[in-house]
């Protein structure tokens, strides 16, 4: 099964910052793993901006120290998207693992 990045902003926010982050906090999570190995297409710019401006700061404020992206098997376009947000965050000294 392939997964695309076609998602509405509200759904993305709820999945990551509400359900996901609450689960991580409740269970002492220190890493966030994103499996993009079956992703197709490009991540929308709003999602990249949201990751940069909202998600990573929220992770840092809540003890998430590592962001791990699994990209083997992803399409070329999906890998470019992963590289785009990963490289942007590495400049800010987050612990990014691909």
- Per residue, what are the HEC states of the chain? CCEECCCCHHHHHHHHHHHHHHHHHHCCCCEEEEECCCEECCCCHHHHHHHHHHHHHHHHHCCCCEEEEECCCCCHHHHHHHHHHHHHHHCCCCEEEC
Q: pTM, whole model, 2 decimals?
A: 0.67
- Tell me the residue range of the domain where 61 lies: 27-97
- Asked if residue 92 is part of any domain, the answer here is yes
Domain membership flag for residue 68: yes
Total structural domains in the chain? 1
In a domain, 7, yes or no: no
Asked if the structure places residue 21 within a domain, the reply is: no
The reply to whether 63 falls in a domain is yes
At 50-98, the pLDDT tens digits run 888 888 889 889 988 887 777 777 677 666 766 666 665 554 545 554 5
In a domain, 62, yes or no: yes
């Amino acid at each position: 099964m392939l997964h695309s990045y076609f998602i509405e902003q509200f759904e993305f926010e709820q999945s990551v910052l509400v359900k996901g982050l609450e689960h991580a906090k409740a269970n002492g999570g220190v890493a966030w793993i994103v499996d993009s190995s079956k992703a197709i297409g490009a991540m929308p710019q709003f999602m990249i901006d949201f990751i940069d401006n909202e998600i990573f700061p929220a992770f840092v404020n809540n003890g998430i120290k590592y962001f791990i992206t699994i990209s083997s098997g992803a399409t070329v376009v999906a890998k470019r998207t992963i590289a785009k947000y990963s490289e942007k965050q590495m400049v800010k000294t987050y612990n990014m693992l691909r």
